[in-house]
Amino acid sequence: MSVSLTFLNALCPEMERIYPPGARVTICSDGHVFGDLIGVPDEHIDAYADELRILP
């Protein structure tokens, strides 16, 4: 898991200590919309999305 995703994963329980309802992070990607503009092929975008789906 990347450093940023690890941080976000740890952030929610920390927020729950202060705010009992807690928080949930939802990652949305529209990579297929702008992937060609930033030079990221569809295969990489699909692989990234697949990896996000299997995270706990």
| The predicted structure's pLDDT at residue 1 | 59
Instruction: Fill in the DSSP letter of residue 54.
Output: T
pLDDT at 5: 82
How many Å separate Cα 46 from the centre of its chain? 13
1-56 tens-digit pLDDT = 578 888 988 999 999 999 999 898 887 777 888 888 989 999 999 998 888 888 76
- What pLDDT shows up at residue 24? 87
Cα torsion through 20, 3, 42, 37, rounded to 10: 100
What ranges do the domains of the chain cover? 3-53
| pLDDT for res 16 | 94
Q: What is the pTM of this model?
A: 0.54
Say what the pLDDT of residue 2 is: 76
